[in-house]
Amino acid sequence: MRHYMRNRVAEAREHLRPVLKELGLNLMVLDKENQEEIYFVGKPLERFGGIRPLSPVTIRFNKGIAPADRKEAQWQRAYLCIEDWRLKPLGRTGRVHRRCWDREFLPVEKTGKEMFAWMGRMIRKHEAFIYSSEPGHVDSEELADTYWELFRGRKIKDLDIVTIEGERRNHDALTFQDHLGRRIHMIYAGVGKLMIDGELVGTFKKDTPSKTQLAESLKIGRSWVKGMYNPLDPGLKPR
């Protein structure tokens, strides 16, 4: 922690201790270039793979302050950042996805005990969350975005999300039947993997808009669909 933050951190630790104890959170400091941030996290939880509960509320001190001006950080130059980490359902699949959707910035306009009481209310109001603790949580942003786009288009009526077991870990996949009744899986793990009836046939770039076109083309059997993914080399065995 840099010297100009010590007094502010000590004050926050003292005055916010009751609400942090209530929520099982600890105060931490993140030192970034041209920005210091006070954030709140809990202890690692073994049942969730060591993931820590996290408050979506942080206290940030203004960017762009010249080092010569940093004799001591001032609350008047701080603000609360409140991130929106709501869960959103993935259609009728029973699966959900969470990410930081937006941020709200609130300047610190109060002082003294009134200021810390306001901060405490904001922290308590927004509580804490554990990123992937919910049953059926889909981690991949690319998969979630592709699903929502396809779901809105209503071109693949039987679109679903399943989990494919792997040797080291499991991966989520979009799935549907094509025009021939074959089972398609578009797996989102590193490089996207395309499977047809359980056989790996190629890879695709999961971070491009063309993935929705690929799914739609596979569904109806467009003749040029093989040009939309990278076919697997026949000499290579799937892993």
Contact present, 125 and 185 (Cβ < 8 Å): no
Contact present, 155 and 147 (Cβ < 8 Å): no
Contact present, 156 and 202 (Cβ < 8 Å): no
pLDDT at 211: 84
Give the total residue count for the chain.
239
What residues contact residue 53 under an 8 Å CB cut-off, 6+ apart? 23, 24, 25, 41, 42, 45, 128, 129, 130
What residues contact residue 63 under an 8 Å CB cut-off, 6+ apart? 34, 35
Domain ranges of the chain: 3-126, 141-231
pLDDT at 237: 47
Q: What is the pLDDT along the chain (239 residues), one digit of tens a residue?
A: 678 889 999 999 999 999 999 999 999 998 876 678 999 999 988 877 778 999 999 999 876 555 555 678 889 989 999 999 999 999 999 999 999 999 999 999 999 999 999 999 999 999 999 988 888 999 999 999 999 999 998 889 999 999 998 778 889 999 999 999 999 999 988 889 999 999 999 999 877 678 899 999 999 998 888 888 999 865 554 44
pLDDT at 70: 60
Phi then psi for residue 72, to 5 deg, are: -160, 130
pLDDT at 62: 76
Q: What is the pTM of this model?
A: 0.85
pLDDT at 87: 95
